[in-house]
Amino acid sequence: MTGRLEGRRCLVTGAAGGLGRTFCSALAAEGARVAGLDLADLGGTGDAVAAAGGRLTAVRADVTDPEQVQDAVDSAAAGLGGLDTVVNNAGVYPLVPFEATDFAQWRRIMAVNLDGLFLVTRAALPHLRRAPFGRIVNVASAVVWLGPPGMVAYTASKSGMVGFTRALASELGPEGITVNAMTPGMIATETAVATGVTRDLDRVVGGQAVPRAERPEDLVSTLLFLVDEGSSFVTGSAVNVDGGFAKH
C-alpha cells in the first residue's frame, strides 16, 4: 500500500528524541524519505524510522552555527535526492523567571529557537524552490497564546516564530511554498521533564477541554495535514494543538 507522502523528501530538526523522533517516524510511515538533524545521537530515531519502514538520513549540526547548518541541509538534500519539506522542531525551553534570566540565557534561547529557525529555513529554501512545491512547518508553542509566568524568554522566542511564519508565508506563497506553524501544549518529553517545565502538568491538564496529558502522537495528524500536497491553500497559519487549554 502506498503512503500519502510517497516520494516526498523531508527534513526534521531536533530529531534525536521527543517530538522530532515521532515526526520522523510518522513521515516515514507515510512513505516519505526522511532526514533528521540534531547535535545529539540519532541512533534511536534511526531505529524508529526503520520500524516505520524507512531509512533515516542522519545529519549533525548545531542549528545556531551558519556553516554547520548549511552543510547539514545540503547533505540531507543530497542524501534524500532533493528536499520539499522542512519541519523546524529544534528548540530549548528552560523554566526561568524573568529577573533570574541573564543575558547569556536570553541569547541562547533566541539563538536556538529563532536563529536556528532562520538558518535552517534559509539553507533549505533553494532546495524547496527546485521541488514541485514546498512545505515548511514550524513547531512553536501554545505559550504564545497564554503568556505563562517563568517563561518570558521562551514565550518571546516562540511568538517570534509565529511572526516569522506569517511574514514568510506572504513572501513564498506565489512560489507554491506554504509556511505554517503548530502550537502544541505541554508534553512530558524527556527534555521537558528534565528542565522542570512539566511540574504544572496536572494543573494544565485540569484546564484543558480534553482531560488527559498531551502526547507527541497527538501532533502527527496536524503535521501530515500541513505537509500534504492538497494543503496548498493553507499558509500563514498557527494551528493550536493543546487539548483546548488556550482555546485559540
Active site residues: 154
Amino acid type, 143: V
- Pairwise CA distance, residues 6 & 29, whole Å: 9
- CA 232, 34, 161: angle at the middle one, nearest 5? 55
Q: How many helices (H) and strands (E) does the chain have?
A: 10, 7
Q: Which of 158, 80, 163 is nearest to 124 (CA)?
A: 80
Query: Is there a contact between 51 and 43 (Cβ–Cβ < 8 Å)?
Result: no
Q: What is the DSSP letter of 92?
A: -
- Pairwise CA distance, residues 90 & 149, whole Å: 22
Query: Is there a contact between 153 and 95 (Cβ–Cβ < 8 Å)?
Result: no
Q: Cβ neighbours of residue 30 under 8 Å, at least 6 residues apart?
A: 3, 4, 5, 6, 224
